Amino acid sequence: RLLLQPDDSLQILAPVESDVGFYACNASNALGSDSVSIAVTLAGKPLIKASRVTMINTESPAVTVDIGSMLKTIQKANVSINCQVAGVPEAKVTWFKNKVKLSPTHHLRDGLLLIANVSLSDQGLYSCKAANLHGEVTESSQLLVLEPPRPLPYLEDLTAALSSAGPSTHSVLTSPSGTKLTVSPGSSALIGCAVDGHPTPNITWLYSGEPLSLRHELLAAGRILQILNVSDFTDGEFSCLAQNEAGSLMQVMSLAIQEYQWSVDKLTACSASCGHRGLQLPQLRCLLDGSEVNSSYCEETLKPSLQPIACNRKDCPSRWMVTSWSPCSRSCGGGIQTRRVTCQRLTAKGSSVPMSNEACAQMSKRPVDTQNCNRRPCVEWVSSSWGQCNGPCIGPRLAVQHRQIFCQTKDGTSVSTDQCSSLPRPLSTQNCWTDVCGVHWRVSLWTVCTATCGNYGFQSRRVDCVHIRTNKPVMEHHCSWRPRPANWQRCNITPCENGTLLRGGEAEWCRGRKEGRVVCQKHSTGPC
């Protein structure tokens, strides 16, 4: 039934459903080739021309694919997804991203979806739905956005690895231009490969351009290389190769082996200007190749023995010596405290020699030996008489009474309460007994339910706050210390049978049917 005519046209005799589809004509010569496709369809649900290829674009600024394809492309490219549809009657085309309908703001034209300047936020599943009155069909394409590996200035996992490592572990990040780390023999090194990309790049570590053969460990999913027990055999260039579908990036670092050494330098300043306790200590510096570095690098190196040197061992000039102040004679209202003042001289042997006051007076003014203390006024808490027991009820026959609290001096002058803050403050409230609070909730019996069935029946009762002794009602707030009982509730909440009267407020209705007419029954006279 498929005939190829002399003019290269294709004839389909008596088309049936199996002939439905897209037919392509390809033409080629020595200068190139071209093709065109056409859809053959019968009246029925639409057809979509779909492709099942995977395309990876790492260079072109614009790329077009048929729906059904998977596309992996670099960022900032312009992506066009073609959805060629055939159907009788003509089908309506609708586009979706991750099963959410795309708004008209997207570039949609003749079944072609244009995604301009693609970014990571555009990644997802794009679907084309064609529908007419005979049915609908959907085809989808997955868009994956690629980002080639790029260097990062910081690697969070490296910080975490260092926090759990010992003090003899040193760290460095590789870089495209190369970095350098100098360590002492026997220590460990952490080399981080701080790169990012989409999808996440695979990391391969190299030593002198060749795969690693020396003893090592990989941490943080291969992004950190740990070299254990560094020696002369491990110095040289280490590199990490980051690769994904969008490209690759090589970063390098150089590991150098040099020993750190302690150096004994000048002495510290003397700890005393005279007497018998003056000492000087030699200062230590950590050196690497003659330059001073942080002393932590020398922690694994044995420190030289350092001996303190005596200095300024001579008699001190005469000076005033004072004892501690005595306790204040009064705790408030003004008191006196004293101390002893003497003139002495400390010798080079460590002994103190008493001297005349004139010997010290030539050097400095004599310190005072008395001073005033605790000059703040003496204060106390003062309370008024208790007020009447007429506060709010807090229990059976139980209420609250109050009194005022003041801070004042001994002579009766009122002052700020802050001045009494160091003293225990008396209570300003207390519980008290009163017949007024001898109350309780009194409830009556429930009324008859307003309905025998259905969803609208309710009943009520009277709730009063009454005095226990007199049984007379009082204000409800006197009973508020106990929860108030409910004064209404729903009742007889059961389904009604057909033909049974239902009551609910002012609404009344009947249900039931007998011999083609509605039968209504009512407990009172009058129409239903």
**526 and 451 fall within a common domain:** yes
The DSSP-derived string for 151-189 is E-S--HHHHHHHHTS-TTEEEEE-BSS-EEEEE-TT-EE
**206 and 239 fall within a common domain:** yes
Q: Is residue 12 part of a domain?
A: no
Q: What is the CATH number of the domain that holds 224?
A: 2.60.40.10
Chain centroid, CA 65 distance in Å:
41
**249 and 274 fall within a common domain:** no
Q: Is residue 24 part of a domain?
A: no
**91 and 115 fall within a common domain:** yes
Q: What is the mean pLDDT of each run of 10 residues along the chain (528 residues)?
A: 78 73 85 81 83 92 95 94 90 92 76 91 95 93 94 81 75 91 84 91 93 86 88 86 93 87 88 92 85 84 87 93 94 93 93 92 93 91 92 89 92 90 92 92 95 92 94 92 93 79 41 36 38
What is the pLDDT, as a whole number, of residue 14?
65
d(CA 439, CA 520): 51
Examine the fold and report which residue of 437, 454, 487 is the final residue of a domain before the chain moves on: 437
Q: Is residue 15 part of a domain?
A: no
Q: Is residue 450 part of a domain?
A: yes
How many domains would you assign to the chain? Answer: 6
What is the pLDDT, as a whole number, of residue 520?
39
What is the pLDDT, as a whole number, of residue 241?
96
Examine the fold and report which residue of 114, 131, 147 is the final residue of a domain before the chain moves on: 147
d(CA 497, CA 512): 9
What is the pLDDT, as a whole number, of residue 71?
96
**301 and 335 fall within a common domain:** no
**429 and 460 fall within a common domain:** no
Domain that holds residue 272: 261-310
The reply to whether omega before 199 is within 30° of 0 (cis) is yes
**432 and 444 fall within a common domain:** no
**453 and 464 fall within a common domain:** yes
Q: Residue 192 class from Cβ within 10 Å (0-12 exposed, 13-18 middle, 19+ buried)? A: buried
**385 and 457 fall within a common domain:** no
Q: Is residue 40 part of a domain?
A: no
Q: Is residue 464 part of a domain?
A: yes
Q: Is residue 19 part of a domain?
A: no
Q: Is residue 38 part of a domain?
A: no
Of 431, 443, 424, 515, residue with least CA distance to 486:
443
Examine the fold and report which residue of 147, 176, 199 is the final residue of a domain before the chain moves on: 147
DSSP letter for 349, please: T
**247 and 157 fall within a common domain:** yes
Q: Tokens standing for 355?
A: 């001297």
**180 and 139 fall within a common domain:** no
The 3-class secondary structure across 461-505, one letter per residue, is: CCEEEEECCCCCECCHHHHCCCCCCCCEEECCCCCCCCCCCEEEC
**433 and 444 fall within a common domain:** no
What is the pLDDT, as a whole number, of residue 270?
93
